């Protein structure tokens, strides 16, 4: 009897123990979306003439800093080494970075501590949110001083109610004069609802149509960017050209996910309007759904490639692939296509796509509660507000940087050549594309909406479920991700 009691007890405790720890965290091996990273980590040779700091800060800075004495540790949160390499390259106060890339020493003895979490699946945001909620209680040297955010969720952090990102003018940066050369849309994106800019970026990400020159010659008899542009000038033309490509066994684009940003960027209203708890699926998104299904059924996409950032997608950029081209921003050419291309250098070309749109972009924010306001200002100005530095970044990392006049110079510079693109100067096309971008329809729910709508409709495109089922699956998924969402409105 006693044995039985004990064994029952043990079994119960086992069940208790095992069921209590459900829901572990997941590792995700795939590379992260919408961001670029550079391999080079050469120490900086100060090539910049950083803005002289004037020491005078607006009156309301005191609200955002925990101490006016500069602390000895600057904590910067980000999701890869992209920002670090740019800081090392152009911030003239950098002395050296440790081997493992976690600590960067400045000349005045201050240390930058880098905290890196992966962007994919919202992991970075989850960790950052938790840290921000604990910001008030953290020790001075543990407080976050700066953090980065991506276009998909920048709104969440620039929100005036959340008030976690310090307004630039409080730091002593006047967006109108100091950042006048930045692209206006990047400034809009980094501003809160009342137009106060709370972040700044060194890049703008206009997308081009990047295509394989050998396929272009085979099908259209030319690989000239202007002539190829005529073949993809708008969706209808692109579809007609797609039939020509198909006749020779090629796919126009890799997958339906590749066109998503082009549609998603031109929605008329945000996914969730501020103050609302309902998701509005825009007419443009429905167009993407319909067109994607049509294109996939017509054989213009490769049926085997489901979405982006997976193995099949990467292989579509290899020399054996039958995919003609991709819609990619500058970072996409250098960090996505280039590492996956295994053929001759110079086999790709770039021209304007069917419409101009923006994909990605990393914003730099000063974090409320910091004790390094002066350093934050210097770093933001050095990396995002200094034309010479930005041109250095462009030449080094091929980023399309956030300087209108600088990009214009590079676009007109006949000596600037990208070897990977067969000696073409892509900035000739990037630059006008960036001029026409408008982004006014962001919401803090964008990342979830963008990820989940592509996931949910993937089944529909492949004919596994009908349209209504796909809609229902999206509703389920989005309500799981965001508990405060009460309804999803579909256009008529």
Partner 1 sequence: MKKKKSITRAKWGYLFILPFFLCYFIFSFIPLLDTIRYSFYEYYRSGLKIVGPNFVGLKNYAGILGPDLFRYMGNTFILWILGFIPQIVIALVLAAWFSDSRLKIHGEGFFKVVIYLPNLIMASAFAMLFFTMFSTSGPINNLLMDFGIIKKKIDFMGSVGGTRTLICIMNFLMWFGNTSIMLMAAIMGISPDLFEAASIDGCNPLQAFFRITLPMIRPILSYTLIVSLIGGLQMFDVPQIFTNGQGNPDRTSYTLIMWLNNFLKAPDYGRAGALSVYLFIVSGILCFFVYQMMKDDDQDGSKKAAKKQKKLAKQLAKNA
- Provide the binding-site residues for partner 1, judged by CB under 8 A: 8, 11, 13-24, 26-29, 121-122, 126, 129, 132-133, 156-157, 159, 161-162, 164, 303-306, 310-312, 315, 444, 455-456, 458-459, 462, 464-465, 469, 473, 476-477, 480-484
Q: Least distance to partner 1 from the beta carbon of 22, Å?
A: 5
Residue with Cβ nearer partner 1 (43 or 487): 487
Residue with Cβ nearer partner 1 (302 or 424): 302
Q: Least distance to partner 1 from the beta carbon of 200, Å?
A: 20
Q: What distance in Å separates the CA atoms of residue 175 and residue 173, rounded to the nearest whole number?
A: 6
The alpha carbon dihedral of 436, 385, 35, 142 has a sign of: negative
Residue with Cβ nearer partner 1 (237 or 310): 310
Residue with Cβ nearer partner 1 (161 or 419): 161
Residue with Cβ nearer partner 1 (21 or 236): 21
Residue with Cβ nearer partner 1 (321 or 386): 321
Helix (H) and strand (E) counts for the chain? 20, 13
Check: CB of residue 393 under 8 Å from CB of residue 302: no
Q: What distance in Å separates the CA atoms of residue 164 and residue 147, rounded to the nearest whole number?
A: 10
Q: Least distance to partner 1 from the beta carbon of 9, Å?
A: 12
The tokens for 482 are 């965001």
The tokens for 341 are 């291309």
Q: What distance in Å separates the CA atoms of residue 402 and residue 416, rounded to the nearest whole number?
A: 18
DSSP-derived 3-state class of residue 221: coil
Q: What distance in Å separates the CA atoms of residue 43 and residue 89, rounded to the nearest whole number?
A: 7
Q: Least distance to partner 1 from the beta carbon of 142, Å?
A: 19
Burial of 20: CB neighbours in 10 Å, binned 0-12, 13-18, 19+: exposed
Q: Least distance to partner 1 from the beta carbon of 304, Å?
A: 4
Q: Least distance to partner 1 from the beta carbon of 357, Å?
A: 25
To the nearest 10 degrees (0 to 180), the angle between helices 213-220 and 235-247 is 80
Residue with tokens 């972040």: 199
Residues in the chain, total: 492
Q: Least distance to partner 1 from the beta carbon of 193, Å?
A: 14
- Which of 165, 167, 228, 224 lies closest to 197, judged by CA? 167
Residue with Cβ nearer partner 1 (54 or 130): 130
Q: Least distance to partner 1 from the beta carbon of 136, Å?
A: 13
Q: Least distance to partner 1 from the beta carbon of 15, Å?
A: 5
Residue with tokens 């997308």: 207
Q: What are phi and psi of 242, to 5 degrees?
A: -60, -35
Where would I find the beta strands (DSSP E) of 127-183?
146-150
The tokens for 483 are 């508990």
Q: What distance in Å separates the CA atoms of residue 489 and residue 492, rounded to the nearest whole number?
A: 9
Q: Least distance to partner 1 from the beta carbon of 29, Å?
A: 5
Residue with Cβ nearer partner 1 (145 or 178): 145
Residue with Cβ nearer partner 1 (238 or 253): 253
Q: Least distance to partner 1 from the beta carbon of 26, Å?
A: 5
Q: How far is CA 186 from CA 50, 150, 203, 207, 274, in A?
A: 21, 11, 8, 15, 20
Burial of 422: CB neighbours in 10 Å, binned 0-12, 13-18, 19+: middle
Q: What distance in Å separates the CA atoms of residue 332 and residue 111, rounded to the nearest whole number?
A: 32
Q: What are phi and psi of 148, to 5 degrees?
A: -110, 155
Residue with Cβ nearer partner 1 (40 or 304): 304
The alpha carbon dihedral of 304, 299, 332, 355 has a sign of: negative
Residue with Cβ nearer partner 1 (13 or 68): 13
């Amino acid at each position: 009897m006693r044995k039985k009691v004990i064994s029952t007890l043990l079994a119960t405790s086992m069940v208790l123990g095992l069921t209590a720890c459900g829901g572990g965290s997941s590792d995700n091996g795939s590379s992260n979306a919408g961001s670029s990273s550079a391999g080079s980590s050469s120490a900086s040779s100060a090539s910049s003439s950083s803005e002289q700091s004037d020491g005078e800060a607006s009156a309301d800075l005191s609200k955002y800093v925990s101490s006016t004495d500069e602390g000895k540790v600057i904590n910067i949160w980000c999701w890869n080494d992209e920002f670090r390499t740019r800081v090392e390259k152009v911030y003239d106060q950098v002395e050296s970075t440790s081997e493992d890339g976690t600590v960067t020493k400045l000349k005045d003895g201050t240390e930058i501590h880098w905290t890196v979490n992966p962007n994919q699946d919202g992991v970075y945001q989850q960790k950052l949110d938790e840290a921000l909620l604990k910001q008030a209680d953290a020790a001075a040297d543990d407080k976050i001083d700066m953090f980065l955010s991506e276009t998909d969720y920048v709104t969440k952090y620039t929100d005036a109610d959340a008030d976690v990102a310090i307004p630039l003018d409080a730091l002593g940066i006047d967006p109108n004069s100091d950042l006048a050369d930045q692209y206006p849309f990047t400034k809009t994106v980094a501003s809160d609802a009342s137009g106060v800019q709370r972040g700044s970026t060194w890049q703008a990400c206009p997308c081009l149509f990047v295509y394989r020159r050998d396929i272009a010659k085979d099908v259209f008899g030319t690989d000239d960017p202007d002539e190829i542009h005529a073949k993809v000038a708008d969706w209808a033309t692109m579809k007609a050209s797609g039939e020509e490509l198909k006749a020779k066994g090629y796919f126009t684009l890799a997958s339906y996910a590749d066109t998503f940003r082009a549609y998603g960027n031109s929605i008329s209203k945000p996914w969730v309007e501020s103050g609302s708890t309902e998701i509005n699926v825009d007419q443009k998104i429905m167009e993407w759904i319909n067109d994607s299904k049509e294109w996939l059924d017509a054989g213009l996409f490769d049926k085997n490639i489901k979405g982006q950032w997976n193995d099949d997608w990467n292989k579509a950029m290899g020399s054996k692939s039958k995919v003609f081209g991709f819609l990619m921003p500058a970072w996409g050419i250098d960090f996505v296509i280039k590492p996956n291309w295994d053929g001759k250098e110079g086999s790709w070309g770039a021209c304007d796509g069917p419409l101009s749109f923006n994909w990605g972009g990393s914003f730099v924010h000063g974090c409320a509660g910091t004790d390094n306001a002066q350093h934050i200002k210097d770093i933001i100005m050095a990396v995002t507000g200094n034309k010479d530095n930005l041109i250095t970044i462009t030449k080094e990392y091929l980023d399309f940087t956030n300087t209108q006049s600088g990009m214009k110079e590079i676009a007109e510079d006949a000596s600037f050549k990208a070897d990977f693109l067969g000696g073409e100067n892509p900035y000739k096309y990037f630059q006008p594309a960036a001029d026409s971008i408008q982004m006014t329809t962001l919401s803090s729910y964008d990342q979830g909406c963008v990820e989940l709508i592509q996931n949910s409709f993937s089944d529909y495109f492949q004919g596994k479920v009908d349209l209504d089922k796909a809609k229902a699956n999206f509703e389920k998924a989005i309500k799981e991700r965001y508990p405060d969402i009460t309804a999803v409105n579909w256009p008529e």
